Structure 1
Amino acid sequence: MMNRAITINDTDNVAVALTDLSKGEVIRINDEDFTLTENIQAKHKIAIKDFRKGDEIYMYGVIVGMTNQAVGKGEPITTQNVEHRASSYELEQKKQVSWTPPDVSKWKDKTFNGYHRSDGQVGTANYWLVFPLVFCENRNVEVIKKTFEKALGLEKQVQYESYLNSLVDQYKSNGAQISDMGLTPMPEVPENIPDNPELFENVDGIRFLTHDGGCGGVRQDSETLCRLLAGYVNNPNVAGATVLSLGCQNAEVQIFEDALKKINPEFDKPVIILDQQNTGTEQELIAKAIKETFLGLIEANKIKREPAPLSKLTIGLECGGSDGFSGISANPAIGYTSDLLVALGGTVILSEFPELCGVEQELINRAVHKSSAEKFIKLMRAYEKAAENVGSGFDMNPSPGNIKDGLITDAMKSAGAAKKGGSSPVNDILDYTEYATNPGLNLLCTPGNDVESTTGLAGSGANIILFTTGLGTPTGNPVTSVIKVSSNSQLVQRMPDIIDVNTGPVIEGEKTIEVMGGEILDQVIRVASGETVTKAMQLRQYDFIPWKRGVSL
């Protein structure tokens, strides 16, 4: 039978409602009966002791808030009676690292079929990239995109054309009197929208990136953009790239080339760099870009999928549109997947530093190297100070949607978000655009903004991204498949077109975290082998937003 409310850790002094609860109802939590003083929605928190003003709230075994008034046992925890509070952290408090890996006997001999690169990386896909170093070239990239998509049969289907035509016909006949009667049913999204050109069966697609950077602003942002784009080209899912430069921008070709060499001194993928001011007319530039890109596709098509060990997987971890169940079902489930992959010799990247607020000491304690712990502390404190300097702070990270669905403080949100990283030792700390080269768990400094963070994960080498959500979000990535994991079954019923995996059975008491985490790893292997296309890729959710290192939470 499904529990009605639970505590997550033995030290917690609040419980989580797993279903809607009514005022006056008596519920049993940890062998004690509680009479509810108000209606409490599923995902929200219940006091399981009497609190005085100024008492600390514990969830997941850490401080997640502080009461600003007295709160009685059985009362709901809300934004009116609780405010943000998080534990302090210091390097001097660091403890010895210890970890017992999970049993991986089921997966130790499994492989995935991927694209082997000369540097030892293995891609889960095989894309050709086309992008500008500066926004001035965005229009030329769009022209090249339309040309290739039309010539190679990759034009996106106009799903809603017939629907709009029916509205136009009604308006012509009846003026503003438009109803749904007699309208063509809304079309279903096809399971596999063609992405790879038939002419090149081993090329999974051509990805066209545009952005608003590369000039203006501060020079550091242009340099960061060059490093990010270099990471994308070095990503194992990319076979090669066509790069457009105007010629006079801050994001100079030399900076981009230097960034590539720094990431990978042995880099040998084909990269076509075209400078408009040196090439001549726009027509000449575009014609040359099309020809060189076509020749690049011919070479990329010569690479075929071959078996690779699971240790060649680099999994990025992300959450967005989180709810009060995310930290109980979806996040710990992919956390267990993370531990399995680390035990198999793979690489995991946990991002979103604003959503590690309050769990810093735990991560410091898990750091294998003292230098990594020091770097983590430096990045966290610099990030938080930058937010405070503009009148913000990590405490302002939860969105209205998060709060509405039970995540009322940043520390509460963070304690659940950190569960994505499992329990393995932290092997390395990466600043934004630094490339993951050490197996095991890596922490990557990105904002909590979904697209900025997933953009950063792919730039640091993730060849698959696991993305948890409780409210639903359409985020994807151009070169890395994003597997969307729902925290609850209701979301899957409401938005089946965006969800790949449902961890709702954990909430419903039908599956354990361990069983769910193993199933997610099996799904990762299928996606990595090209056997399954994620919903984000089916919908062509190719989101790309570079972080400008301003304050973005």
Structure 2
Amino acid sequence: MQKKLIKVHPNDNVAVALTNLQANEVIELEGTPYTVVSNTKAKHKIALVDFTKGKDIIMYGVLVGKASELIAKGDVLTTENVKHQSAKVTGKTDTFTWTPPYKEKWQDATFMGYHREDGQVGTANVWLFFPLVFCENRNIEVLKEIFEKELLHQDVNKHRRLLRSLINDSSTDTIEEEESTRVFENIDVKFITHQGGCGGIRQDSETLAKLLAGYVNNPNVAGATVLSLGCQNLQIQIFKDALTAINPNSTKQVLIYEQQQMGTVEEMLNVIIEDSFKAIKVANNIERKPTPISKLRIGLECGGSDGFSGISANPTLGHVSDIMASVKGTAILSEFPELCGVEQELVNRCVDTEKADKFLSLMKAFEASVVAAGSGFDMNPSPGNIKDGLITDAMKSAGAAKKGGTSPVQDVLDYGEYVTELGLNLLCTPGNDVESTTAMAGSGANIILFTTGLGTPTGNPITPVIKVSSNSEMAAKMPDIIDFDSGAVVRGEKSIEEMGDELMEFIIKVASGEVLTKASKLNQSDFIPWKRGVSL
């Protein structure tokens, strides 16, 4: 018989409905019967005790809210009877010890990667085109059309063929498919556009320079073509300085062009095309070679979360994160608004007081800026989150933090800082899915794991994004975007450890180029920098 309720932590006073529950239905949990008060949808929470107004609500073993009115035992928690509440944190309260649990099983595992001269190893081989300022977006788009059509032969897809058939009043079967053979098999060409580089405060341009420099330094990137207008805030020298700050000994080829120094657009594009083609041809000679999985830097992301994300998909990523820590690899946990409520655990896991203080300082500054804008972290859950049972930010955060596993926090990074420490890193980013994945790639992630319970179609220009579903129903409904289904955990068919091991095997296949992610197949290359300042 399928379980109908699950209590995530022994100290919890609420439980998660694993199936739809009917009013007056009697359900037993850990030997205690509970009468369901109201019809309750799967993924939502029911009270395991009678809540008086103001009583703490505990889930995942932490404070996730307070009852705003009386809630009877067995009744469903809603946005009407629960308010966001999280514990106050001032610093370390406990020492932390951790014994790596998975080293022997994974210490000899390898993947086939692209070795760079600085010792980093890529899971992809990308030549990247991007502008320093939005004024060059059109030229990037022109180059994108030229290179994708002539170099990658990405031209007519089935949707364009459908439109062509409608225009010609004919069947799609009569439209000939164009040649799809790539000119170079060992390198991809990707393009970034953005709305920054000028018009805002100088700090925003400097931050964007750090982010773009991180993309160039990412081990998945073989080299880059960079377009500048000339008069913008993000000057070429600022970008070069940012690149030098990250990697002063970088030998990657970076081609930089300034339009205001080159004459006509046609003249400039002719030079760019010829130079870039020669560089891409050389980069195509780089081949995959075996390397330990310790060279993986895995970004941990969740988006379109549901009430099962913190039970299945996110803890599965947590197991992978602990594997990485065990073998002296790297994991990156971001989305600071979704760590609200679990700060104490993370602070105690920091390897020293300096890291703990930096984490709290970044969290407080971020939250203060949100409050100054007339909002708060309590506004983080989206309508989709709330509909599927994540009714407070702390409740969402407690489940989201499970992606970070149980290992020590080795370093805390502000937005735009590049990873230098092995093990678990915390990276300050917004909770916005694409802003967060954009930042993790800029900090060096060469694989990104992205959990979702509702279905989120997104990818990254340089880093493979593996989509992990929290439930099998969504995975079956949206198979074109989901790579890995963790729904067996919810059904009680597999443990977190078993599911995490399976995901680790899948990661190795993606990292080795044996499996192409769904996001890559759909050519999803989303890039949204975090704009912290204002426009001037």
**Cα offsets for 1:211-264 (capped at 9, x unmatched):** 111110111111111110000000000000000001110000000000001001
In structure 2, the residue matched to 1:177 is none
Match of 2:104, SS state, is: coil
In structure 2, the residue matched to 1:201 is 185
Match of 1:226, SS state, is: helix
The alpha carbon displacement at 1:165 in A equals 5.6
**Cα offsets for 1:463-503 (capped at 9, x unmatched):** 00000000000011000000000000000111010000000
Is contact 2:203–2:533 with CA below 8 Å preserved after alignment?
Answer: no
Match of 1:532, SS state, is: coil
Q: Distance in 2 between matches of 1:399 and 1:334?
A: 22
Match of 1:105, SS state, is: helix
In structure 1, the residue matched to 2:44 is 44
In structure 1, the residue matched to 2:141 is 142
Which residue of 385, 392, 408 maps to 2:375? Answer: 392
In structure 2, the residue matched to 1:401 is 384
What do you get for the CA RMSD once the two structures are aligned? 1.7
Q: Distance in 2 between matches of 1:251 and 1:9?
A: 49
Q: Distance in 2 between matches of 1:25 and 1:169?
A: 60
In structure 1, the residue matched to 2:351 is 368
1:115 aligns with 2:110: no
Is contact 2:204–2:533 with CA below 8 Å preserved after alignment?
Answer: no
In structure 2, the residue matched to 1:285 is 268
The alpha carbon displacement at 1:424 in A equals 0.3
Q: Distance in 2 between matches of 1:366 and 1:532?
A: 35
Q: Distance in 2 between matches of 1:528 and 1:102?
A: 23
**Cα offsets for 1:300-357 (capped at 9, x unmatched):** 1121100011110000000000000000000000100110111011000000000000
Equivalences for residues 41-120 of structure 1 within 5 A: 41-91=41-91, 93-120=92-119
1:532 aligns with 2:531: no
Q: Distance in 1 between matches of 2:436 and 2:102?
A: 31
Q: Distance in 2 between matches of 1:165 and 1:139?
A: 25
In structure 1, the residue matched to 2:366 is 383
The alpha carbon displacement at 1:166 in A equals 6.5
In structure 1, the residue matched to 2:319 is 336
In structure 2, the residue matched to 1:276 is 259
Q: Which amino acid aligns with 1:44?
A: H
In structure 1, the residue matched to 2:154 is 155
Q: What is the TM-score of this pair, normalised by structure 2?
A: 0.96
Q: Distance in 2 between matches of 1:114 and 1:517?
A: 22
Distance 1:168 1:284, change over 3 A: closer
Percent identity, please: 61
Q: Distance in 2 between matches of 1:218 and 1:362?
A: 36
Match of 2:103, SS state, is: coil
Q: Distance in 2 between matches of 1:465 and 1:232?
A: 14
1:316 aligns with 2:299: yes
Which residue of 471, 493, 496 maps to 2:476? Answer: 493
**Cα offsets for 1:352-403 (capped at 9, x unmatched):** 0000000000000000021100100100000000000111000000000000
Q: What is the TM-score of this pair, normalised by structure 1?
A: 0.93
Q: Distance in 2 between matches of 1:493 and 1:333?
A: 19
Match of 2:420, SS state, is: coil
**Cα offsets for 1:67-122 (capped at 9, x unmatched):** 0111110100111100000011111x431121122223332211100000111000
Q: Which amino acid aligns with 2:182?
A: E
Equivalences for residues 158-237 of structure 1 within 5 A: 158-164=157-163, 198-203=182-187, 205-237=188-220
Q: Distance in 2 between matches of 1:199 and 1:153?
A: 6
Structure 1 portions without partners, runs of 5+: 173-182
Q: Distance in 1 between matches of 2:313 and 2:407?
A: 18
Q: Distance in 2 between matches of 1:40 and 1:472?
A: 22
Q: Which amino acid aligns with 1:199?
A: V
The alpha carbon displacement at 1:161 in A equals 3.5
In structure 2, the residue matched to 1:31 is 31
Q: Distance in 2 between matches of 1:13 and 1:60?
A: 10
Structure 2 portions without partners, runs of 5+: none
